Amino acid sequence: MNQVIQEIVRQRQRILVVVLVLLVLNIAVLVFLKGYLASAISDTQTSWGDLRRRVAVAGQNDAATIYRRGKADLEQLRTRIPPKNQFPRLLGGIFDTASSDSVSVGAVNYRPSVIKDNPALLSYGLSLSVSGSYAAVKNFLADMQKNGELIVIDGLTMANNDPYEENVVMDLHMTVYLQEVP
């Protein structure tokens, strides 16, 4: 068996020398990558992360940028607050949403109040009761949250009094904000 191996080595000496040289070269490249370049890559990544954090913080702390963003946000908020004379349309929109979601609306109560710090802004506390299947009531609630006007859902309660029929009753309490038009 030993003689067979020696004969193969003698016949394929050039190929074995090339394979051995490639193996040594491969080991040398691997040592170079692991030893030298790994630490350089790690250092470069750390400095890149530090630079990105500094740039992000510098952009956020700029007073003019914060002021412009705040003004734009307030303007967007003002556009979402309808005028006081649009309350019937808004209430009709709630009823239309209820109708499209296949829920029936029961008692509706509302109570207007003026906000202390801003007399041009009114809030209407709105309470209503809707009933229907659980999926329909859930869809109604999701549609109310997607409403374009400034409507805040303050709280809700759900009940199903009949264990044999799926008829969920939801009492919804929300606040609708309106602008007093001069």
Mean pLDDT value across residues 95-118:
88
pLDDT value for 59:
58
Whether residue 50 is found in the same domain as residue 111: no
By residue range, what is the domain housing residue 101? 81-179
| pTM greater than the 0.85 cutoff | no
Q: What is the pLDDT of residues 20-35, one digit of tens each?
A: 899 999 998 888 888 7
Identify whether 113 is part of a domain.
yes
Number of domains in the chain: 2
- Considering the chain, what is the average pLDDT of its residues? 85
Whether residue 153 is found in the same domain as residue 89: yes
Identify whether 73 is part of a domain.
no
Residues in the chain: 182
As a whole number of Å, the end-to-end CA separation of the chain is 107
89: Cβ–Cβ under 8 A, 6 or more apart, which residues?
82
The alpha carbon of 5 is separated from its chain's Cα centroid by a whole number of angstroms, namely 68
Whether residue 152 is found in the same domain as residue 103: yes
Q: What is the pLDDT of residues 34-68, one digit of tens each?
A: 877 778 888 888 999 888 887 777 656 667 777 88
Whether residue 113 is found in the same domain as residue 165: yes
Q: What is the pLDDT of residues 66-80, one digit of tens each?
A: 788 889 988 888 888
Whether residue 170 is found in the same domain as residue 99: yes
CATH code of residue 129: 3.30.70.60
Identify whether 76 is part of a domain.
no
Whether residue 138 is found in the same domain as residue 53: no
